[in-house]
A = this chain, B = another copy of it.
């Protein structure tokens, strides 16, 4: 059993950062093989990097897009509003499902229009604020989520909602880090997460760096794990939470949520309020990104696919609110989220 570290010693990776007048992104397509940062000096490159999954995870996408807005402002220094808008539209269209993307673009845009400061300075300051707030929120959510865990127990996670998916520390893996540091979590079971292997490539890599015990399984093996080992919680992040509490998140999460509850486990979704989209009524109204079938075929021995075979590659699914036991936000925990409870969380703000 490895020595149990303190919370402050955990989760040091930073996948997105501003450095020397550019947005630096850890190229997550090349993990765990190598840690390679891309230096992006214009907003079009940031949009492309988001689309190409150099960076992924709703909060990290939001932060990258925020820095992208600052770059767009710099490119449109002449003040051509139509040119700026087209750059922002390109950023917003880079991934259709993540709520934080549009949220971050709007927030930075509003900030630069607000005061008399230099628009680029204002945009960059707001992007940095979003980044710093994200890390602070993750620490808060980590503690709130860990409090829900009775422990000592094992937990299941899916995809990567870790430091790599956020400004740092992670949402779901933030809870895992706090739960581990507090002695409540003994082991994490991570699903591989086809077709992009965020589980094996990213979550396992992140947790191993922190010496948190983790076991990798293929996604479809989790059903038997729930039946035999009874992990106490499924802990996941979210790409968008709708007004009624439905959760759009990585493909395969809905499957795990059903299986967890079928076997006495509970489901925890860890998502900052920037992920909450109260303008979308429910999960079935969320645009689900379908990516190329090549991502699936790549490992089949026939990368171009088999003639006559159709392929469907949705990369998110909807977990209905009825399957969610706890929604952990930086403003507090909502047990069994629904429209009313989510509205109330927001009304505290106004």
- A31 contacts B by Cβ under 8 Å: yes
**Chain A residues touching B, range:** 35 or more
Distance in angstroms between the alpha carbons of A15 and B330 in the assembled complex: 57
Find chain B residues with CB under 8 A from A220 CB: 191, 193-194, 219-220, 251-252, 255-256
A195 with B218: CB separation less than 8 A:
yes
Residues in B whose Cβ lies below 8 Å from that of A53: none
Q: Which chain A residues in 247-288 approach chain B with CB under 8 Å?
A: 251-252, 254-256, 258-259, 262
Partner of A251, one of B200, B218, B254, B306: B218
The yes or no answer to A151 lying at the interface (CB within 8 A) is no
A293 to B215, CA, bound (A): 11
| CB pair A216 B312 closer than 8 Å | yes
A residues 90-144 near B (Cβ < 8 Å) are none
Q: Which of B200, B302, B313, B318 contacts A201 (CB 8 A)?
A: B302
Alpha-carbon gap, A163 to B311, bound state (A) = 22
Of residues 210 through 264 on chain A, the ones whose CB sits less than 8 Å from some CB of chain B are: 211, 213-225, 227, 251-252, 254-256, 258-259, 262
* Distance of A208 Cα from B192 Cα, bound (Å): 28
A-B contacts, 21 of them at CB < 8 A, read: A30-B301, A32-B302, A33-B301, A193-B220, A194-B219, A195-B218, A197-B299, A197-B301, A200-B297, A201-B300, A208-B309, A214-B310, A216-B293, A217-B311, A219-B220, A220-B252, A220-B255, A223-B317, A224-B254, A224-B317, A227-B254
